Structure 1
Amino acid sequence: MVTVGGMADTIERLRSLMEGDSCDSLSDSLLGLWDLEPEFGVFREALELLRPRLCKDTWESYPEAKSIFSWMLLRVTRPWLSEFFSQVLPPSLLFSDDYRVENKVLGVTCLHHIIRNVPAAELRQYNQAQVIYHALKNHLYTADAEVIEVVLPCMLDLLPVLQNPPPALGEYQKEKENPADEILQLVLTHMEMEHKIRLRRVYARNLPALQQWLGVRVARHMKRLLSVIVGYLEVYDGPEETARLCILETLQGTIKVAWPRMPSRLPLLLKALLKLISDVSCDPGQNPKSVTDALLHGTTECLVLLDRCCNGQVKATLEGLPSLCDDPLLVQCMKRVQEAT
């Protein structure tokens, strides 16, 4: 335990750091202070000292205060962070609301850490979770890939907190709009029009988790979702094929939970999947072998799932196709579909 004199010395060193005294590395200096107090006394004192420098009208004038705050915050975890919740939330929201990309990313990173380390009941108290949700939702309208990359995982972790508890047995409760529906609508809107490869990858990477969270409710968005899926399967995504692989994963999950809707969409999906197999097999050298194998495996899995929920229509359609083509990869995929039970 740190003595009174030791804590006074620590506070003085914190003041020196906040005044911008010369030091080679802020992280090294903070780490030296952090190790002195295992019970987050340094963090408690730092928040008091930082408070006047992290107000709406002052925080931009003290970049060192922002750095000290974020460095310390990210090292306080559950269950101790809940003690400081009311003190760390306002600065994090301020950072995320700034116009500079680096501050937005820092603010969302701080909010994500808070969401993961503060109990859901405390986040819901006084509608704080809704405040965080609306702050994050505003970022979905940006075209900065760095921001979207941190916002979507943060929102996915916030969804369980926002979920309404089930009604009591025998009690009727009108179903409200699920925040996940709003997020998916916005994501699909941006995916439909997005042409930047990096943003397409970011959206596609987070789509499987969003689809999995919605479950059967994804049927509400079926038309737009399948339109996006087909559009993304048609576009080459570079050697790693991040977007296409994630889109195939999304399609597999969608088929599993919304299988009664698949027969009417079979022609559209069958055409897109066969075209993907043809594109990959015609030029297998454009991707590493592991990526090519993953694409073909994912596509074949989608065809097998479609066949199961469409009463064998896929096998019937593909029957005889292997004898009409000489591409070994295409023939191999068709045989896997025919042999699947």
Structure 2
Amino acid sequence: MAGSSSSSSSSPSPSAEQALLRAGLALSERPGALRELGALLAAAEPGCLLGSAGPAALAQLAAALVGLAAPPRREQDGAEPPGRDAALAAVAERAERVGAVFLLLLQKLEDARSQQPPSKVLGHAFIFAVTHKDERPWTTARSRAVAQEVLERLVRAAGCGSVEEFLRGKEEDEEGRFGVVMGILKQELTKDTWKRNPASKDVFSWALLRVSRPWLCPHLERVLPPALLLSDDFQEENKVLGVRCLHHIVLNVAVLLCLLDLLPVLERCQRRQGHGRATSPWDQVLQLVLTHMEAEHRLALRRVYAGTLPAFVTRLGILIVRHLKRLERVILGYLEVSDGPGEEARLGILETLQCTIEHAWPRMPCRLPVLLKALLRLLWDVHTERGPTPEPVRAALLHRATQCLILLDRCCQGQVKVLLAGVHSSCEEDRVRECLRKVQEST
């Protein structure tokens, strides 16, 4: 009997579990709900907490705690609501009590050594801690101390040695909690919401600056839009923070396509400051890329460059004519060299040539002899090479080369058909003849 009584008092029964969740969901409605929640957590057995409440319910509870201690929301344009000072003082007081509950919850999760703490619970605790740990209008010395303690305890509960390790993971191939944090913040970092929560940009930037390469690379699509929003804002404080975030992203991701999203922002800034020029940042970056491409012999880098080049040509449009001389040399050089089974470099260069013909077609007739010779040589090489290139890759190369010939013919008023007439009739290789036939029959 005694053992049964002790067991029932130390682990939450189904009714206690329901009471735990009810208390969490009622945090914003009943003043005593936070005290009740703390008492229920204190009575919970660490090993049974996850099993009885479940990860999803605990994450919901953690989200409610963060919401209770959130700073007052601003208007959509960032304007402060009325009664701001009183509201800020109330937030600091609530943050102390919410922090105490988070400490209790994290301690229980840390004590349950046999089970990994739910990532979403840790993510919500992280957002709470970063929101309140520094000097802000909604914090006091006491609330900052509690938040700092929450940050330290959640790192321990996750089995990590530092905040950086918590966010990125212990090993290069291990997934940390940065993705979870960004997933929770996602709705607070859109164009219409990021100014309404005054803490969202602080949490985002503080976490971002602690994730370096190679751990940041998989999160590029999530971190780049908020950084661009910040850097494009009219307020100097936000602009500086955004540029700092962008600088960190470029240094730790170093992807050329990332620059394609950054350059429009830089261009707008230059126009606002009256620094209009005949050439744009696009031209400067492309010129540098082409310079490196001409001298590059390592196949891995040739693939990377060739894969990004079509996007640059598309962004510049007709202005690609400024770079045609050097671009032509790069195209010819890359078409001559096979880069392995996947032929990523050649495929990327063929796509680049197609984009270039489409955008700069008035300049193509004078380049027809050189380009026609290179494409015909490619058709022959692909057909005759006996390397490890799979058949679908060969077919893709032949198709893209054929499409380039068709485009050249269109912008050169049928000259390609005339020049290929004799070649088509004398060619004995079926696959090459089929490509030439498609060009001859194109309209």
**TM-score when scaled to structure 1?**
0.74
Asked if residue 31 in structure 1 is aligned to residue 133 in structure 2, the reply is no
Q: Output one character per residue of 1:6-57: Cα deviation in whole Å (capped at 9) or x when no partner.
A: 654434565899xx999689xx5342515xxxxx853421425887899xxx
Give the distance between the partners of 1:217 and 1:236, measured in 2 at CA.
Answer: 29
Q: Which residue of 1 aligns with 2:432?
A: 330
Q: Output one character per residue of 1:214-235: Cα deviation in whole Å (capped at 9) or x when no partner.
A: 2222222212222111111111
Asked if residue 216 in structure 1 is aligned to residue 216 in structure 2, the reply is no
Give the distance between the partners of 2:417 and 2:249, measured in 1 at CA.
Answer: 45
Q: Which residue of 2 aligns with 1:104?
A: 213
Asked if residue 157 in structure 1 is aligned to residue 266 in structure 2, the reply is no
Which ranges of structure 1 fall in alignment gaps of 5 or more residues? Answer: 35-39, 55-59, 96-102, 140-146
Q: Which amino acid aligns with 2:282?
A: A
Asked if residue 123 in structure 1 is aligned to residue 193 in structure 2, the reply is no
Is contact 2:310–2:355 with CA below 8 Å preserved after alignment?
Answer: yes
Correspondent of 2:334 among 217, 232, 243 = 232
Q: Which residue of 2 aligns with 1:300?
A: 402
Q: 1:41 to 1:283 in 2, by over 3 A?
A: closer
Asked if residue 192 in structure 1 is aligned to residue 294 in structure 2, the reply is yes
Q: 1:167 to 1:136 in 2, by over 3 A?
A: closer
How far does residue 188 in structure 1 lie from its aligned partner after superposition?
1.9
How far does residue 190 in structure 1 lie from its aligned partner after superposition?
2.3
Q: Which residue of 1 aligns with 2:30?
A: none
Q: Which residue of 1 aligns with 2:309?
A: 207
Q: Which residue of 1 aligns with 2:441?
A: 339
Give the distance between the partners of 2:288 and 2:264, measured in 1 at CA.
Answer: 19
Is contact 2:347–2:400 with CA below 8 Å preserved after alignment?
Answer: yes
Query: What secondary structure is seen at the aligned counterpart in 2 of 1:79?
Result: helix
Give the distance between the partners of 1:115 and 1:310, measured in 2 at CA.
Answer: 42
Percent of pairs identical after alignment? 40
Q: Which residue of 2 aligns with 1:37?
A: none
Give the distance between the partners of 2:257 and 2:378, measured in 1 at CA.
Answer: 28
Worse-matched range after superposition: 182-191 or 274-283? 182-191
Correspondent of 1:10 among 99, 102, 105 = 102
Is contact 2:178–2:207 with CA below 8 Å preserved after alignment?
Answer: no
Q: Which residue of 2 aligns with 1:182?
A: 284
Is contact 1:232–1:244 with CA below 8 Å preserved after alignment?
Answer: yes
Q: Which residue of 1 aligns with 2:412?
A: 310
Number of equivalent positions: 308
Worse-matched range after superposition: 172-181 or 303-312? 172-181
Give the distance between the partners of 1:210 and 1:21, measured in 2 at CA.
Answer: 54
Give the distance between the partners of 1:186 and 1:41, measured in 2 at CA.
Answer: 43
Q: Which residue of 1 aligns with 2:165?
A: 64
Which of 1 and 2 has greater Rg? 2
Is contact 2:342–2:389 with CA below 8 Å preserved after alignment?
Answer: yes
Q: 1:225 to 1:340 in 2, by over 3 A?
A: same
Is contact 2:320–2:356 with CA below 8 Å preserved after alignment?
Answer: yes
Which ranges of structure 2 fall in alignment gaps of 5 or more residues? Answer: 1-23, 28-33, 39-60, 66-99, 135-147, 153-160, 169-175
How far does residue 284 in structure 1 lie from its aligned partner after superposition?
6.2
Q: Which residue of 1 aligns with 2:202?
A: 86
Q: Output one character per residue of 1:217-275: Cα deviation in whole Å (capped at 9) or x when no partner.
A: 22222122221111111111222211111211111111101111111221221121111
Is contact 1:259–1:309 with CA below 8 Å preserved after alignment?
Answer: yes
